[in-house]
Structure 1
């Protein structure tokens, strides 16, 4: 483990102003966020705040919030976020060494919407391959050293088999001392054995088992009987 708990302190804020209006952000401010496994998945509907949360965690650790590694922090024109600059960590021994020295921090932040730019900037030339292959190039070329690796919906560019390959990279990474935090909509990714799953929504943040996830239940029902869902959205 690299980090064991994340927290933030704000002297005062307006409940109706973003990001303080997001329930999971208020949960972070009130109780912090504890990490109990080397791999943590955050799941929730669009707008639930999971991307806001993972971006702030990446920025708090020193990764470029636009996407990329610590070496490229703020290489893109993106100001510090009001939440990310307030994130603090309780760290495991390896994490304390990383947080104590800027040059010792290792990791990568992969976000779906800026991945091509970030990977090209770091010399992985995703323009020469498909979008999905560009993502896999990051896993093969950047997800190597022990450190903190943050991902925002990596499945967006990946096929079923590529998602399985990603899980193989994640499993190898954590066995060699890495830690992964991933926001996702994927029932495939969240099925990784031993992963901690946090569901975010109007309730804030709570831990759930894979089989209790709403997204797992919906996918199971949809694959069993697509018309049970499609009849509500198609004329």
Structure 2
């Protein structure tokens, strides 16, 4: 067992194609899942990126549910429910875990954060999230406060589009906090569109396209290329975008 493997909480996932009872239904019809057998994760940070509709949030949600988290977010102790909208993909994957078990864990997703914040109030556990009701803060403040205060280290943390609520400055602060938690033996799996967040070094970037899923370097991502082109040549880009 090498030192990198020993640090994993979640080493990989295996797709059980022989168990696809709903093979003609979403999400099994998505190109990314048609012939995928397994995915390996970095022991520290793995990013899942892709265009809207390619299945990255669906995949992340399935991983989180299979790992024991509530579909709408929170720790493994959260069991609140508002709407059954998740796919059945989690029933058709198998988690390959590492030798260590995480002491902490959290599934943080922008889509259902309001429902999660309501549950925090109902359980009267705001003290673990910065001391103020999350509903008494802006969406971005509450999201960032959860990330900064509740994540304690030695944990498996699954984040779905965290940039949705955060300014560019807060996204950079998130990178710093991710690094602190990585040094505290944490593992992250993050679905994101942010060219800032995926800039975290020495991470695995899994890019979902119509051809499937592949590992790419930061500079090879469309996120990086588009943002670089726009910033360096924004007048020309705007002229193209706004042309009659």
Give TM class, smaller chain. Answer: 0.7 to 0.9
Matched, 1:56 2:56: no
Q: Give SS of 1:220's match.
A: helix
Which runs of no fewer than 5 residues in structure 2 stay unpaired?
Answer: 1-7, 121-125
Give TM-score, length-normalised by structure 2. Answer: 0.84
Taking the TM superposition and a 5 Å limit, the aligned residue runs for 1:132-171 are 132-171=140-179
| TM superposition shift of 1:22 | 1.3
Q: Partner of 1:65 in structure 2?
A: 71
| TM superposition shift of 1:232 | 4.1
**Number of aligned residues:** 225
User: Partners of 2:22 and 2:233 in 1: how far apart?
Assistant: 44
Matched, 1:9 2:16: yes
Give TM-score, length-normalised by structure 1. Answer: 0.87
Which runs of no fewer than 5 residues in structure 1 stay unpaired?
Answer: 99-103
Residues 44 and 201, structure 1, Cα contact 8 Å, conserved in 2: yes
Q: Partner of 1:114 in structure 2?
A: 112
Mean CA deviation greater in 179-188 or 15-24: 15-24
Q: 1:18 aligns with which of 22, 26, 42?
A: 26
Mean CA deviation greater in 60-69 or 121-130: 121-130
Describe the shift of the 1:111–1:197 C-alpha distance in structure 2 as closer, same or farther (beyond 3 A): same
Mean CA deviation greater in 18-27 or 203-212: 18-27
